[in-house]
Chain A
Amino acid sequence: MGTARWDPTDWSAYAASTTGKTTDAVFASRRIDKDLNPLGVTVRESRDSDLNPESTAIIVGLDVTGSMGMIADALARKGLGTMVEEILARKPVTDPHILCMGIGDVLYDRAPLQVTQFEADIRIAKQLEKLWLEKGGGGNSCESYNLPWYFAAMHTAIDCFEKRGKKGYLFTVGDEEPPPNLPAAAIARFLGSRPQRDFDSRELLTLVGRMYHVFHVIVEEGNHARHDPRGVRNRWTELLGQRVIGLSDHTKLAEVIVSAIEVNEGHDRDNVVKSWSKKTALVVQRAVGGLGPARGGSAGVVRF
């Protein structure tokens, strides 16, 4: 997938079609859509094409439990358009191919993972609309943010890495803490593959980190993050270090993701912040203030 090219006029028409609709009207699915069900999926592919000769895989995994549907809603109405257009304009990476995920809880939800295809055009918005906002989750203080890690590591094939050794990007977005582990039984139940053992989240991070730059965006307006902001932040920082991003305004998710990619690719952080309008810059400043450029390359020595 990802063989078409982004067209802003398609997006304008699409965005206009969502105006005035409620979230429930935009996201009309009341069960998992078969196109988004990861059960039995061998691989989701991000491949180069004539229109996108140097594709970059970008995964955005959205918490769809409880009140977190507001994130998907904001992304569908405006965010996706902003994200793609700003990446194309600023060029921190080439030819973005975007895959969206819906994230729930493997212990409580019927669809703890939903997965679109990698797309480069308006089709990503149409697939995002198919997400079932299950509004589930449980009382365990975490959602299964590590299931997307496993899926990305074992069930995606991306040309940016396969052909050019350039990692893709994976952002999970939500208000709860990271789960400590991912049971093999959950992988078998929801993905269909049968690993020999359970994995703790650190192992999964190592696994997915081979192929993707991994970030987590904490939705600070979310119930859990508001209730225990320091606890949520600390638990994520223990796992991800500086790649934890605080999002103070959920309508600015796209701008924050684009900025994080820019900083990770070596763009000057202050210049990135200043490049946005005043209100957005405040949100971005707070979000990417602790980020630095990715270390390493394909050759040479890296000094610490």
Chain B
Amino acid sequence: MNDVTALSAEALLAIRLSEPERLFTGDKAVAHQEFRALAARWHPDRCPDAGTTGVFQHVNQLYDAAVRKLRGGIWQMPGLLVLRATDGATYKIRYRKERAFELGRLFVGGEIVAYVVAKEYADLFENALQVIDRLPCADSRMAAEIGGYLPEIVRHFEIDEGWVLVLRKTPDQVLLRDLLDHCGGRLDARHVAWIVSSLLNLACYLDYARLAHNAILADTWFVSPSQHGGALLGGWWYAVRQGERMQAAPAATVQYAPFEVMDRRRGDIRTDLELIRALGRQLLGDATGLRLEREKAAPRPMLDWLRLPAGDSALRDYQIWTNRVLKDSFGKRRFVKLDVSAEDLY
């Protein structure tokens, strides 16, 4: 039990209602004891000092928030997430960074990523499990080539508040959004080029698998700055087989997907190819593409490719990109070091 009675009124009032973990222990019985101790200290009947009522009300609200969190199965401390599954099991996840995403929250750890998805998106969560479980590979060579790009499920379980999916990642991989933020909102064109190359390689696999992922975004793609690789860990909630009806999509996908696809709402590889282009433009500093030409953000062939619409074949897109666009933009291929590591970001 924490010695909560030692805290001053100012210290208590400084605790936000969204962070009851800063005051209470993550155990229902212990938290109750702590609350009783606080009530004994701050109840206006026992402490007639000015302002006591406000402190007591705040403590009450913090306790209510703590009870709600404990009931929901999520208890979060700096760098540590404690999740209580509906089957009674408890999981502790160490994380370096937390982010909100459109279905819930994302926790980036050293070797795992945990997605906590709100209850109302149960169908999308289930869809992700099924799609990931059925990702095809023609042979061991393909598995070796493409496996690193794809998610590997460590664990998934239900909590009262929703659903949790834990995926494996390598320690050097960072969320592309975090890398972009770290670099001030734009990357050098040469780094954008290798990221786009990885994404197009993955798109060829998705096309082979007859899938449309529908959410290739800075919030779903993890990159390895040292290896120039990446993994598509997020967004599988929206993946469907090509031609199948889409259930949902992030707003960004609706923004950039082909008009016709959004009208018919069917899985289509062109959506992924358009999203890769949009991501390329975003990494250069402007997803709309309007400023890139004025600012000469990249060589002209690369800018033209990123701005103009995608074709309908991932393989053809990839061939044009590697054989023409990269050569015309940068000449002979060479490795360009990106001097950022996971430790710099997290």
Contact = CB atoms under 8 A, between A and B. Distances in A.
Interface string A151-164: 00010011001100
B246 A304 contact: yes
A205 interface: yes
Given A161-B290, A162-B288, A302 B254 contact: yes
A237 to B, nearest CB: 10
Contacts of B246: 304
Interface in B235-257: 245-251, 253-256
A301 B255 contact: no
Given A202-B258, A202-B259, A205-B260, A301 B102 contact: yes
Residue of B250, B274, B290 most packed against chain A (CB within 10 A): B290
Residue of B255, B289, B311 most packed against chain A (CB within 10 A): B255
Contact of B255 (A195, A240, A241, A296): A296
Nearest to A239: B260
Contacts of A303: 247-248
Interface string B292-325: 0000000000001001111100000000000000
Nearest to B250: A301
Contact of B251 (A196, A203, A241, A298): A298
A187 B254 CA distance: 28
A104 B1 CA distance: 80
A299 interface: yes
A267 to B, nearest CB: 20
B176 to A, nearest CB: 17
Contacts of B286: 162
A206 B258 contact: yes
Given A303-B248, A304-B246, A157 B308 contact: no
Interface in B248-283: 248-251, 253-256, 258-260, 262-265, 270, 274, 278
A171 to B, nearest CB: 15
A240 to B, nearest CB: 8
Contact of B288 (A206, A211, A241, A297): A211
B309 A206 contact: yes
A181 to B, nearest CB: 12
Interface string A269-301: 000000000000000000000000001111111
Contact of A241 (B102, B263, B274): B263
Given A206-B274, A303-B247, A303-B248, A214 B307 contact: no
A303 B120 CA distance: 12
Nearest to B256: A210
Contact of A301 (B248, B263, B270): B248
B337 interface: no
B304 A299 contact: no
Contacts of B288: 161-162, 210-211
A241 B265 CA distance: 12
B308 A207 contact: yes
A209 interface: yes
B291 interface: yes
A304 B251 contact: no
Interface string A182-207: 00000000000001100100111111
Residue of B250, B270, B308, B311 most packed against chain A (CB within 10 A): B308
A202 to B, nearest CB: 6
Contacts of B15: none
A214 B259 contact: yes
B250 A302 contact: yes
A89 B334 CA distance: 59
B81 interface: no
Interface string B163-183: 000000000000000000000
Nearest to A205: B259
A203 B258 CA distance: 8
Given A195-B308, A300-B102, A209 B259 contact: yes
Interface string A206-233: 1101110010000000000000000000
A241 B260 CA distance: 8
A295 B264 CA distance: 13
B267 to A, nearest CB: 11
Interface in B210-245: 245
B264 to A, nearest CB: 8
B304 A196 contact: yes
B265 A210 contact: no
A203 B273 CA distance: 12
A44 to B, nearest CB: 12
B103 interface: yes
B295 to A, nearest CB: 12
Nearest to B274: A206
A215 to B, nearest CB: 12
A204 B270 CA distance: 13
A304 B259 contact: no
Nearest to B238: A301
Interface string B16-60: 000000000000000000000000000000000000000000000
26 contacts: A154-B307, A158-B290, A161-B288, A162-B291, A195-B308, A199-B309, A203-B309, A204-B309, A205-B259, A207-B308, A207-B309, A210-B278, A210-B288, A214-B259, A242-B263, A296-B251, A298-B251, A300-B251, A301-B121, A301-B249, A302-B251, A302-B253, A302-B254, A303-B248, A304-B245, A304-B246
| A-B complex: 6 closest residue pairs judged by Cβ atoms | A296-B254, A241-B263, A203-B309, A206-B258, A209-B259, A301-B102
Given A206-B309, A304-B265, 4 more contacts: A157-B290, A205-B259, A241-B263, A302-B249
